[in-house]
Amino acid sequence: MVDITHKVTTLRTAKAQAIVHVSSAETIAAVVENRVPKGNVFEMAKVAGLFAVKNTHITIPDCHPLPVEYTAVEYEIDGLEIKIYITVKTVYKTGVEVEAMHGASVIALTMYDMLKPIDKGIVIREIGLVEKTGGKSSFKDKNPKLIQAAVVVCSDSISKGIKEDKAGKVIVDKLKLHGVEVTSYEVIPDELEQIRNKAFEHTEKNQLVIFTGGTGLSKRDVTPEALEPILERRIPGIEEAIRSYGQKIMPFAMLSRSVAGTIGDSIILALPGSTNGAKESMDAVFPHVLHVFKILKGANHDPIG
């Protein structure tokens, strides 16, 4: 199955439909009046649909087992058509579109099976997704355009050419993936004043400045000490999200001193310097963190008084 370990858990919903077209009004009347010999069509089909949703991963090989936390089935009769709508919700790392469509298709097949003794002209059609929410697609269009970012790698060894930077490049790739323009990428030593000066320098031209490295507990790890005094407002929720996400993957994540806050209308993030730490931190908060720029932009237009 596709690897979803890097994804964050969000509320995800999907609504699917299927249409059962019968050949006579008498069939519709038999369904509505509960005169079908095999039993109550609506109720039997609903039960079949509920089982189908919960067991989608058994039927469809690439679907992940996931916690189905809500399922609702609705019917609508339009002439000779029985329209089936099914809504599925979960709080998980991957969506429930296939689960919803699987449920809709099994409901339709159950109706076909129950009605075929009294109607030989039944057709199932238009099984498909009506709508979905949650995951990256729900946040992408809500983010403002043309966000510019600077990435600063804080490392004595990398600045001296002893080691190669990988964490900063991971961050750059992730930003580009989410449509953020990276205007600057540079490496500096673990020097408090240099880190602080870079924060002021880059916030003049960029909405987002990400530092990577220097968030540990060694004597040379001074990135938090450099940034915390100059941040105008801390954003503890971002810091908590990064550590919480990392803790589920690597127990040592609790030792990271990641920092998030604002200088003017710019966001400052200080992330771990290890490649995995940087990647997991970015996975934890992107693209959702980009919504903050919409809030900051709106705040600029609030009347003063």
180-234, pLDDT tens digit by residue?
Answer: 999 999 999 999 999 999 999 999 999 999 999 999 999 999 999 999 999 999 9
pTM tops 0.85, yes or no: no
Q: Which CATH architecture has domain 10-135?
A: 2-Layer Sandwich (3.30)
Distance (Å, whole) CA 97 – CA 81? 23
Contacts of 29 (CB under 8 A, 6+ apart): 35
Q: Which residue has the higher pLDDT, 130 or 139?
A: 130
Task: Using the structure block, give the residue that is written with the tokens 């079908």.
Answer: 36
CA-based nearest residue to 94, from 176, 13, 178:
13
pLDDT greater than 50 at residue 301 = no
Positions of E strands within 155-271: 181-188, 208-212, 233-234, 259-263, 266-271
Alpha helices in 68-181 (DSSP H): 97-115, 136-140, 156-159, 167-177
pLDDT bucket at 288, cuts 50 / 70 / 90: confident
pLDDT bucket at 145, cuts 50 / 70 / 90: low
Question: Residue type at 155?
Answer: S
Q: Which residues are catalytic?
A: 113
Rg (CA), the chain: 27
Positions of E strands within the chain: 10-21, 70-78, 81-92, 123-133, 148-154, 181-188, 208-212, 233-234, 259-263, 266-271
Strand 148-154, strand 208-212: pairing: parallel
What confidence score (pLDDT) does residue 302 get?
A: 43
Distance (Å, whole) CA 169 – CA 275? 9
What confidence score (pLDDT) does residue 304 get?
A: 38
CATH of domain 147-300: 3.40.980.10
Average pLDDT, integer, range 296-300:
62
111 near 33, Cβ under 8 Å?
Answer: no
Q: In what order do the strands lie in the sheet with 10-21?
A: 70-78, 81-92, 10-21, 123-133
Distance (Å, whole) CA 113 – CA 20? 11
DSSP 8-state class, residue 302: S
What confidence score (pLDDT) does residue 129 get?
A: 96
Domain ranges of the chain: 10-135, 147-300
What confidence score (pLDDT) does residue 140 get?
A: 55
Query: Which of the residue ranges 24-28, 208-212, 249-253 would you say has the lowest mean pLDDT?
Result: 249-253
